[in-house]
Chains A and B, each alone.
Chain A
């Protein structure tokens, strides 16, 4: 069955949406939920109905021409889809789930969005207020469960409180360092009636989302940068969240400072930019890692010094003065002590910094990255990207996808070896085209996240790169892809192993492959069962044609590539080791 490439979203008549958001007398709480979402500009909801949220689904029925609901196959899929949607569209992802198991199934996605600063509003149904605390059918303390993994959450038990709670939820989710918010609405509040009058929230007394840029901090940072011989920029997710890509590049160009990227910072700067020197962390590039311990001023922008970046903190960048530009005060001095902390939004901070930076050249310093690249190419990259014999390499598959999409596709990766390989070798050109689970490392993220990403930017090619283990965690979302006609391209890099765990077992556990080998099903046949066409490739000679076929296909497509079974990702910094101990083989 032929699928459409683009989701058939009806364009909502703007006047109709305005009317829905206007004040209304005596409407049910459930209707107030939908009207509130429309007032916040919500067009897409990922969700799954159930007993305690049925009144809200009933209200949704009357607004189907204004809000598009995508029925997922598991609530976890709804959260990851909302994450993918939020990260490509820049809007807040919205999720509906019922009480009890519906709500607990959101936990992984909430935690993931919390770690990776993704704006999301989850609305859960709850048993009637009178039953709270009585162990009623499908009652669970979702507020208690999600407290440490949401930016904010609230339970609403009266219809008149619904618009206010939703307004606050959206304000908190999207402002400052973004994050997930959960609004739990008891069934009685959904059914009872109240007057509806929606006012957007733009102020909370105890919360200042965007700190003012401190002029003295900017001056101190500029002084350090102007006197630096080997300055070095680490570009984090905060640059993308703040839409500060242009400012970062202007800043780097003015003083000719090399830029390296964290996993979630990828795609903020084109990999072809002359100042871009590569990817950081455990499986990052060689030069970017070792030069962290060679720079004299480290300028961290919108990143949080994850342990996968720093390795052993006691030996991390000890020689450098550290400038930390960060919107979240709790991240400053949490892992690495900042000599100058600029507590601010990345864009505002960079805008203030640029005029104070003197033009400089650091040719020799930049050259040192190129020298390291040459070594990495000889030891690793060349053989990965252009192997002549032996089993298929993940890297050569990524290279071909990168070439054939011109680096312009949205790349959604799952978690493990394939994720690291894709992050290393896809040649990102455009901001917000790298969607992955960074902080949480959630296997099963990619398939649902890719659907959401595609719905967020239907005009773009969205390619999910998934391992054989990851795919089997959320493959039921093929049902959603079929039903909602979401044209994602799915690439399974199948090594019949939980590859990253196997790599660790090989290197650190004497090759004792404890529970990492997978006897896999026929993935193409599974896809066929969901009416998604596909193809399996085992031969190097077939890859080009197979990737072409996948990209030419209108609608969803699954390409399984059987890759070398016991392949390792290098370079590698062993967990907790100093980054100087980076291994090339």
Chain B
């Protein structure tokens, strides 16, 4: 059955690693709905957080094939209840809409905040789950929305302690035993 899953991939810092990972989804015709990557608390180790609509059996095989890549430490598939996750959206609204009365209440009710105001526009930020951000978008549309931009997912895995301890142990070792090829 198709549903949304979070895939996390822990990698070495290497040019082209994104290609190597995404091409494995492409081969099986799986559409990536969001992708976020940044360095972890362990220097040189990157974490990819990928959301996809797919089925579990297929994803378990995809993850196996991702783990086969040389510069991948591990890859996992998570159900929504295994991760604490958050997304972030920015909404650019025409300043003239400030004259419409309800926007203050809307910002308060949604725990959003204003990042900047200029004569032409202002920018609202909101974090939450995807549906909450989309709901907010709908509510803002009547106020003259100019632009909307949403991040991919960031996620913390609930049972990650053992694996991150393992990664920390790796951090004391070189990526390989010759002078690293750097760019």
Q: Which residue of B lies closest to A165 (CB)?
A: B181
Tell me, yes or no, whether B114 is within 8 Å of chain A by CB.
no
Contact of B70 among A151, A199, A203, A332 (CB under 8 A): A151
Tell me, yes or no, whether B73 is within 8 Å of chain A by CB.
yes
**Which residues of B sit under 8 angstroms from A163, Cβ to Cβ?**
178
Interface contact B176-A205, CB-CB below 8 Å: yes
Tell me, yes or no, whether A5 is within 8 Å of chain B by CB.
no
Tell me, yes or no, whether B113 is within 8 Å of chain A by CB.
no
Tell me, yes or no, whether B125 is within 8 Å of chain A by CB.
no
| B69-117 with Cβ < 8 A to chain A | 70-73
**Which residues of A sit under 8 angstroms from B71, Cβ to Cβ?**
206-207
Interface contact A201-B178, CB-CB below 8 Å: yes
Contact of A164 among B20, B72, B181 (CB under 8 A): B181
Interface contact B177-A201, CB-CB below 8 Å: yes
Report the Cα distance A332→B170, complex, angstroms: 26
Tell me, yes or no, whether A157 is within 8 Å of chain B by CB.
yes
Q: Which bucket holds chain B's interface residue count?
A: 20 to 34
Question: Known: A151-B70, A334-B64. Is A161-B23 also a contact (CB below 8 A)?
Answer: no
Interface contact A204-B176, CB-CB below 8 Å: yes
Q: Hey, what's the 0/1 contact readout for A150-186 against B, CB within 8 Å counting as 1?
A: 0110111100110111011000100000000000000
Interface contact B176-A329, CB-CB below 8 Å: no
Query: In angstroms, how far is the closest chain B Cβ from the Cβ of A38?
Result: 17
Report the Cα distance A334→B64, complex, angstroms: 9
Q: Which bucket holds chain A's interface residue count?
A: 20 to 34
Interface contact A330-B12, CB-CB below 8 Å: no
Interface contact B16-A206, CB-CB below 8 Å: no
**Which residues of A sit under 8 angstroms from B183, Cβ to Cβ?**
157
Q: Which residue of B lies closest to A172 (CB)?
A: B70
| B1-43 with Cβ < 8 A to chain A | 11-12, 15-16, 19-20, 23, 27
Query: In angstroms, how far is the closest chain B Cβ from the Cβ of A238?
Result: 15
Interface contact A168-B27, CB-CB below 8 Å: no
Q: Hey, what's the 0/1 contact readout for A319-334 against B, CB within 8 Å counting as 1?
A: 0000000001110111
Tell me, yes or no, whether B120 is within 8 Å of chain A by CB.
no
Query: In angstroms, how far is the closest chain B Cβ from the Cβ of A464?
Result: 33
Tell me, yes or no, whether A147 is within 8 Å of chain B by CB.
yes
| A323-382 with Cβ < 8 A to chain B | 328-330, 332-334
Report the Cα distance A148→B28, complex, angstroms: 13
Contact of A329 among B64, B173, B174 (CB under 8 A): B64
Question: Known: A148-B23, A154-B181. Is A205-B12 also a contact (CB below 8 A)?
Answer: yes
Interface contact A206-B19, CB-CB below 8 Å: no
Q: Hey, what's the 0/1 contact readout for A249-293 against B, CB within 8 Å counting as 1?
A: 000000000000000000000000000000000000000000000
Interface contact A330-B61, CB-CB below 8 Å: yes
Tell me, yes or no, whether A213 is within 8 Å of chain B by CB.
no
Contact of B27 among A148, A157, A199, A207 (CB under 8 A): A148
Contact of B175 among A143, A151, A206, A330 (CB under 8 A): A206
Query: In angstroms, how far is the closest chain B Cβ from the Cβ of A162?
Result: 9
Report the Cα distance A379→B166, complex, angstroms: 60
**Which residues of A sit under 8 angstroms from B12, Cβ to Cβ?**
205-206
Q: Which residue of A lies closest to B173 (CB)?
A: A205
Report the Cα distance A201→B71, complex, angstroms: 15
Report the Cα distance A152→B182, complex, angstroms: 16
Interface contact A152-B23, CB-CB below 8 Å: no
Question: Known: A161-B181, A205-B12. Is A152-B70 also a contact (CB below 8 A)?
Answer: yes
Q: Which residue of A lies closest to B73 (CB)?
A: A206
Interface contact A205-B170, CB-CB below 8 Å: yes
Report the Cα distance A167→B12, complex, angstroms: 18
Report the Cα distance A147→B61, complex, angstroms: 19
Question: Known: A148-B27, A204-B175. Is A330-B67 also a contact (CB below 8 A)?
Answer: yes
Interface contact B176-A201, CB-CB below 8 Å: yes
Interface contact A206-B11, CB-CB below 8 Å: yes
Tell me, yes or no, whether A144 is within 8 Å of chain B by CB.
yes
**Which residues of A sit under 8 angstroms from B68, Cβ to Cβ?**
328-330
Interface contact A330-B70, CB-CB below 8 Å: no
Q: Which residue of A lies closest to B171 (CB)?
A: A205
**Which residues of B sit under 8 angstroms from A151, Cβ to Cβ?**
70
Report the Cα distance A328→B61, complex, angstroms: 12
Tell me, yes or no, whether B65 is within 8 Å of chain A by CB.
yes
Query: In angstroms, how far is the closest chain B Cβ from the Cβ of A206?
Result: 5
Contact of A203 among B16, B23, B27, B177 (CB under 8 A): B177
Report the Cα distance A167→B71, complex, angstroms: 16
Question: Known: A143-B16, A147-B23, A152-B70. Is A330-B65 also a contact (CB below 8 A)?
Answer: yes
Interface contact A204-B70, CB-CB below 8 Å: yes
Interface contact B179-A205, CB-CB below 8 Å: no
Interface contact B177-A329, CB-CB below 8 Å: no
**Which residues of A sit under 8 angstroms from B60, Cβ to Cβ?**
333
**Which residues of B sit under 8 angstroms from A160, Cβ to Cβ?**
179
Question: Known: A330-B61, A330-B68. Is A164-B179 also a contact (CB below 8 A)?
Answer: yes
**Which residues of B sit under 8 angstroms from A172, Cβ to Cβ?**
70
Tell me, yes or no, whether A202 is within 8 Å of chain B by CB.
yes
Contact of A168 among B11, B64, B176 (CB under 8 A): B176
| B128-183 with Cβ < 8 A to chain A | 170, 173-183
Q: Which residue of A lies closest to B71 (CB)?
A: A206
Report the Cα distance A213→B61, complex, angstroms: 22
Contact of B20 among A147, A165, A202 (CB under 8 A): A147
Interface contact B65-A147, CB-CB below 8 Å: no
Report the Cα distance A367→B72, complex, angstroms: 48
Question: Known: A154-B181, A206-B11. Is A330-B64 also a contact (CB below 8 A)?
Answer: yes
Q: Which residue of A lies closest to B177 (CB)?
A: A203
Closest 9 A-B residue pairs measured CB to CB?
A: A330-B64, A164-B178, A203-B177, A204-B176, A161-B181, A152-B70, A330-B68, A207-B70, A330-B65
Residues of A within 8 A of B (CB): 143-144, 147-148, 151-152, 154-157, 160-161, 163-165, 167-168, 172, 199, 201-207, 328-330, 332-334
What are 29 A-B contacts defined by CB distance under 8 Å?
A147-B20, A148-B23, A154-B181, A160-B179, A161-B181, A161-B182, A164-B181, A165-B181, A168-B176, A168-B178, A168-B181, A199-B178, A201-B177, A205-B12, A205-B170, A205-B174, A205-B176, A206-B11, A206-B12, A206-B70, A206-B72, A207-B71, A328-B68, A329-B64, A329-B67, A330-B65, A330-B67, A330-B68, A334-B64
17 further A-B pairs in the complex, CB-CB below 8 A; given A164-B181, A333-B60: A143-B16, A147-B20, A152-B70, A155-B15, A161-B181, A164-B178, A199-B178, A204-B70, A204-B176, A205-B73, A205-B173, A206-B12, A206-B72, A207-B71, A330-B65, A330-B67, A333-B64
